[in-house]
Structure 1
C-alpha cells in the first residue's frame, strides 16, 4: 500500500513537465513566455514572400504546439536569427547532359536563449532541401517548395529548442 502511495506521489510531482505527442517538453512552472523575432533575409538570392512564410510558420509552430505566450521582449525563451541562404543547383543530369532535376535549398541561422537555463542556449544553422523537375519553371513550383522547406526547418528549430532532441 505504501508503495502505491509513493508511486502516486511521484507521478503527481512529475506532472509539472508537459510531454506532448509533438515532442515538446517544457516545464511551464519555469517557462511561460517566448519571444520570436522576425527573421530577415540575408541571402543574396531572394524570393519576396519567403520571409513572411517562414516567420508566420515559426510563430504558428509554437502557438499550436505549446502553451507558451508569445511576447515582444523579455521572453523566458528567445528565438532569433536570419535566413542566410536560398539557392538552387542542378542535381541530376540526363544521358544527353541536360539537367533533369533541380535542388532548391534554404538555410536559417538561429540563436536560441533559454533564460531559465542558459546551458541550453545555442547558435546553429538549420537547412532543408527539396527537388523539382527541371522541365518545370521555378516560378511554378517555388511557393510549394519554399512552404515544404519552411515546414521542415521550423520543425527542426522547434525540436532543437523545446523538445530537447
Structure 2
C-alpha cells in the first residue's frame, strides 16, 4: 500500500508508525517492535489408488499461526502488566485470552496518538483472535551502558484476521 501526497506522488508505508491494542486492556504501552505475524497452511499430498496420474493430489491441511513478539521500552498502563501477570502466573485457572489488534498507520495522517484521538482509520490491520501471553522476558540490565531497558512479551493466538 502506498500513500498519496499533495503533489500526487505515492510513498510506501513506513513500518515505524503502528498501534497495538488489546481488548479489555486500557492504558498505554509503547512498543518499539512487533515481529512474527504469520499464518501458514499445511499441504496434504495423497494419491488416489486408481488415479492414472503419478502426481499427487494436494489439499489444504491445518492452518498454523506463529507467536508474535512485542518489544517495549516502557509501559504506563498497569492493565497491560496485569494481563501479562495473569497469563504467566503459576496459579492455574482460566487463561485471560484477548483479541490483539495491530494497526499500521499512515505517517502522513499523524502520529499514533493523533490517530487514537481523532479516530483516523489505519491503513493495514491485523487482528489476532484469542491471544494470550506465553512468555515474558525482562530487560537486560547493565550499569555500564545507557541503553533503554527493553522488555519483550511473546503472544500466542488462534486466528489471524486481515480485514479489508
TM-score under structure 2 length normalisation = 0.27
Which protein is richer in helix relative to its size?
1
* Larger RCO, structures 1/2 (Cα 8 Å, 6+ apart): 2
